[in-house]
Amino acid sequence: MTTYRQVKGYSIKSVASNPDNVKEGQIWYNSSELKVKVAPFIESWASGGAYPFAVAGLGGCGTQTAALAYGGNPPSTPPGTLSAVTAEYDGDSWTTGGDLNTARGSFINGHGTQTAGMATGGSKPGTYYANHEHYNGTSWSEQSDLNTAKNQSSQASQGTQTAAVVSGGLNPGAPPGNRLNDTEEWNGSSWSEVADVPVNIAAWAGAGTQTAALGFGGTPLTDNGTTSLEYNGTSWTSSGSLNQSRQGLGGCGSQTAALAFGGENSPYRAETEAYDGTTWSAKPTLANARQNFAPAGTATAALATAGEPASTNTEEFTGGATTRSVDVS
């Protein structure tokens, strides 16, 4: 945590323009504007608009102010009933859009944007899906299936409608422990199997692009769920481990600026961690601990929607520092 001091009696650097990449607590004098500037600490989670109904295991993609969430396992319906509902978020409230062609839950993978979204995998009791659909802002259309049916794979935005990557997950025919270690890449028309993940893993989160992806957390067979791996489009390599072991978490951002939040490790988790390309560090916690929710956004503007325990709650994360002027007498 930054140590703050009274400014009186200290020299303040004079610059002609505001510096790039300001840090918490940084103060300077802008000689062009004739103003003292400060970058205050503003990182926090705050309440957003409620989701239309309580649901867990849904998919998500997009940004904090233009998000998409779809599918899931509503707790208020008979056991085994799944949702095909799609909802769009504008930064204030959710409105429903066109339904998925195949209702599904249990960690649907989400990629892309609100008007060019992508849903892959998922399951219903007794059935694992390889289904793959695209959203155009109005309706969903069926696309080429994954090579391997799965749920609980690298949920969250690793790519776009034309270049995505999906890795790991659960499939009852996959030894050992039903966990997969495969990686599949989407080129806009078909899926191809590429480099295997170094561990068999499920219920982990992801961030980044098809050629610069990040996978973290989850339930691997070989460690305690703090796994963090980077993908360069050719192979996977280990990166800095999460501080909090967890599965069913959310992720967003890029390979060098990612956010991990929520999850489960008896009990549900609320911890948030940020990745800078080398290490994970603690950030403000969610107000509502949860797992299997819809994530969206970036490392400095994220969204966590619904999830387990059953909830309609949406939270918005604001990270980083902003520049503000202060009066000086």
What b/e readout covers 182-197, taking b as 16+ CB neighbours within 10 angstroms? bbbbbeeeebeebbeb
Cα–Cα distance list, 137 to 3, 66, 95, 116, 183 (Å): 47, 11, 12, 7, 28
pLDDT score for 266: 86
pLDDT (tens digit per residue) in 195-249: 999 999 999 999 999 999 999 999 876 666 899 999 999 999 999 999 999 999 9
pLDDT score for 7: 62
3-state SS class at 327: coil
- CA torsion angle 182 183 186 189 (round to 10): -30
For residue 123, the Cα-to-chain-centroid distance in whole angstroms is 20
Residue 89 corresponds to which tokens in the numbers above? 């978020």
**CATH number of 46-319: 3.40.190.10, 1.20.120.140, 3.90.480.20, 2.120.10.80?**
2.120.10.80
Q: For residue 243, give every residue at least 6 positions away whose Cβ sits within 8 Å of its Cβ, in sequence order, or none.
A: 226, 271, 273, 280, 281, 282
SS3 content of the chain, % helix, strand, coil (to 5): 0, 35, 65
3-state SS class at 32: coil
pLDDT score for 50: 98
pLDDT score for 1: 40
pLDDT score for 14: 87
pLDDT score of 190 more than 70:
yes
pLDDT score for 2: 47
DSSP label of 308: B
Q: How far apart are CA 241 and CA 249, in angstroms?
A: 15
Cβ count within 10 A of residue 210: 19
DSSP 231-263: E-SS-EEE-PPPSS--BS-EEEE-SSSEEEE--
pLDDT (tens digit per residue) in 117-176: 999 998 888 889 999 999 999 999 999 999 999 987 766 568 999 999 999 998 888 777
Q: How far apart are CA 216 and CA 197, in angstroms?
A: 12
N- to C-terminal Cα separation, the chain: 29
Q: How far apart are CA 259 and CA 27, in angstroms?
A: 27
Start and end residues for every CATH 2.120.10.80 domain found in the chain: 46-319
Q: How far apart are CA 178 and CA 106, in angstroms?
A: 15
pLDDT (tens digit per residue) in 246-298: 999 999 999 999 999 999 998 999 999 999 999 999 999 999 999 999 999 99
Do 146 and 102 contact (CB within 8 A), yes or no? no
**Alpha helices, DSSP H, located in 141-223:** none
Do 168 and 201 contact (CB within 8 A), yes or no? yes
Instruction: Give strand pairing partners of 134.
Output: 118, 141
Do 286 and 264 contact (CB within 8 A), yes or no? no
